[in-house]
């Protein structure tokens, strides 16, 4: 497909890890609302739990996560007391003990924790919740500071999936973003995880970083594949220095423009496909037998704050600073900064400071956007039927997509929208047509490509 056509639709649009998206959360949802939502949570619904660890040992300049650099362990240990209190607070509301199908440790750097501390949090979760025997327990790993001894503690805690951050192996790129990580360090991390029985390995790569070249990103993919990961996420770097001040440390003149970003994405994707990995949604790749690829094949793929997932739990509870809960009634987010989070938890209250309640119109649009993000296609009439809406409910949105159809990016066959494979990079722009909140605030988001 002509790159000029794809670039024409390279708009500033959300990543759609939720709908409505986080910029539309506000103070209308606070601790009282969150408690009420939890109280009304159907006990039959299985839960997914997310634990946020907002600490790292150094700052990567591209980072878009909520994190703080710490040089000592004391703030981390103090934070664990708050996490324990929050876990107890939620569990006290959710009686009887709720079934949990999925646990995800994210950050920041969860592996900054000492093994015994991580085990203690997991033990508390198991005490206060009913963790299914086959529950997936996933953890994000920073290979640079990963103590091989921690792998045994992770295994003992029930961790069965690890996501390792890599981004790019080229020293020049690593230097430009303040993240030096050799191939050998990454390899040692993978080997110690596997040696302890943690076999499900994900890698995070990134395109759009300073000094990246097409041969360079292909070399990074090749090196990553030497370690035989099950899944690879190929994230586009979002340069939003007006929101993430530390990104100002990145030399903007070394950043690839839209044309090169597209070439990087395509080259990395092509290499992964040549090596037998299946493209999943916007930016993930998996081995054909991986549960993520199987979920895509059977229409069960989901998208949440962690990206693409097989997790189909009916509600997600977030623990820790900045963590977001997804409940049937809406989204609720904790205070992003640790001091504010601490103040609320120490006062015996939830730390919710923002969120959004959703109605059926939001749920319908979320379903449509979710299917487009996961399947690259959707039958809008079928979605409307589930919410008692007439089949022509989305006529204005389909009309808006006609130009993309005329440009050969997608087909509109009655109520069915099908995005062409080559238009995968701009799937978010298609989703934006169904976003009733997205008006004049494009500047808050990153470019689609």
Applying CB under 6 A, the residues found at the interface with ligand SF4 are 56, 59-60, 63, 65, 67, 107-109, 142, 165
For the CB of residue 62, give the shortest distance to ligand SF4 in the complex, in Å: 7
For the CB of residue 108, give the shortest distance to ligand SF4 in the complex, in Å: 5
Distance in angstroms (rounded) separating the CA atoms of residues 115 and 118 = 5
Secondary structure (3-state) at 412: strand
For the CB of residue 179, give the shortest distance to ligand SF4 in the complex, in Å: 6
The pair of three-digit structure tokens given for residue 146, joined into one six-digit string: 């990963």
Smaller CB separation from ligand SF4, 59 or 336 = 59
For the CB of residue 395, give the shortest distance to ligand SF4 in the complex, in Å: 43
Which one, of 28, 16, 46, 34, lies nearest residue 323 by Cα? 34
Pairing relationship of beta strands 315-319 and 307-309 according to DSSP bridges: unpaired
Smaller CB separation from ligand SF4, 14 or 165 = 165
Residue 425 DSSP symbol: G
Distance in angstroms (rounded) separating the CA atoms of residues 179 and 184 = 15
Burial 214-232 (b: 16+ CB within 10 A, else e): eebbbebbebbbebebbbb
CA angle 368, 373, 379 (to 5 degrees): 35
Smaller CB separation from ligand SF4, 60 or 234 = 60
For the CB of residue 146, give the shortest distance to ligand SF4 in the complex, in Å: 11
For the CB of residue 308, give the shortest distance to ligand SF4 in the complex, in Å: 19
Smaller CB separation from ligand SF4, 143 or 355 = 143
Give 413's Cβ-side CA count (13 Å radius): 9
Q: What is the CA radius of gyration of the chain?
A: 21
Smaller CB separation from ligand SF4, 181 or 196 = 181
For the CB of residue 188, give the shortest distance to ligand SF4 in the complex, in Å: 17
For the CB of residue 437, give the shortest distance to ligand SF4 in the complex, in Å: 27
Which residue in this structure is represented by tokens 């430009």? 176
Secondary structure (3-state) at 293: helix
For the CB of residue 234, give the shortest distance to ligand SF4 in the complex, in Å: 15
Residue 417 DSSP symbol: E
Smaller CB separation from ligand SF4, 181 or 329 = 181
Smaller CB separation from ligand SF4, 28 or 249 = 249
**In 305-435, which ranges are continuous DSSP H helix?**
338-346, 360-375, 380-386, 395-400, 402-406, 427-432
Smaller CB separation from ligand SF4, 9 or 79 = 79
List Cα–Cα distances, 368 to 58, 227, 374, 382, in angstroms: 39, 36, 10, 10
Smaller CB separation from ligand SF4, 55 or 350 = 55
Residue 97 DSSP symbol: P
């Amino acid at each position: 497909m002509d790159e000029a056509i794809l670039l024409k639709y390279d708009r500033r649009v959300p990543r759609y890890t939720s709908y409505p998206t986080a910029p539309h959360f506000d103070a209308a949802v606070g601790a009282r609302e969150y408690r009420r939502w939890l109280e009304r949570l159907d006990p039959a619904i299985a839960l997914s739990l997310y634990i946020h660890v907002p600490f790292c040992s150094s700052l990567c300049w591209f980072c878009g996560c909520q994190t703080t650099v710490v040089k000592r362990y004391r703030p981390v240990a103090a934070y664990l007391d708050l996490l324990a209190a929050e876990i107890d607070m939620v569990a006290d509301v959710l009686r009887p003990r709720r079934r949990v199908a999925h646990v995800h440790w994210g950050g920041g750097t969860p592996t900054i924790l000492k093994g015994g501390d991580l085990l203690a949090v997991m033990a508390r979760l198991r005490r206060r919740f009913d963790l299914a025997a086959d529950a997936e327990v996933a953890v994000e790993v920073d290979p640079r500071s990963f103590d091989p001894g921690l792998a045994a503690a992770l295994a003992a805690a029930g961790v069965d999936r690890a996501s390792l951050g890599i981004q790019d192996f080229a020293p020049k790129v690593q230097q430009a973003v303040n993240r030096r990580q050799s191939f050998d360090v990454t390899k040692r991390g993978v080997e110690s995880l596997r040696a302890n029985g943690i076999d499900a390995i994900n890698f995070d790569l990134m395109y759009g970083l300073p000094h990246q070249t097409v041969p360079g990103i292909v070399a990074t993919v090749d090196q990553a594949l030497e370690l035989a990961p099950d899944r690879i996420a190929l994230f586009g770097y979002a340069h939003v220095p007006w929101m993430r001040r530390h990104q100002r440390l990145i030399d903007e003149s070394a950043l690839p423009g839209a044309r090169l970003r597209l070439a990087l994405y395509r080259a990395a994707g092509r290499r992964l496909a040549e090596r037998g990995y299946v493209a999943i949604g916007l930016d993930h790749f998996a081995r054909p037998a991986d549960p993520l690829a199987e979920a895509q094949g059977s229409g069960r793929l989901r998208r949440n704050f962690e990206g693409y997932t097989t997790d189909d739990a009916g509600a997600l509870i977030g623990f820790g600073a900045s963590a977001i809960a997804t409940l049937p009634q809406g989204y609720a987010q904790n205070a992003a900064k640790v001091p504010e989070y601490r103040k609320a938890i120490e006062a015996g209250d939830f730390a919710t400071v923002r969120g959004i309640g959703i109605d059926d119109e939001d749920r319908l649009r979320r379903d449509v956007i979710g299917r487009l993000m996961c399947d690259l296609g959707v039958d809008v009439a079928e979605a409307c039927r589930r919410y008692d809406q007439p089949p022509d409910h989305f006529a204005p949105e389909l009309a808006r997509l006609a130009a993309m159809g005329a440009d050969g990016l997608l087909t509109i066959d009655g109520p069915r929208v099908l995005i062409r494979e080559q238009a995968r990079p701009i799937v978010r722009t298609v989703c934006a047509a169904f976003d009733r909140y997205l008006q004049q605030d494009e500047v808050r988001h990153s470019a689609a490509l």
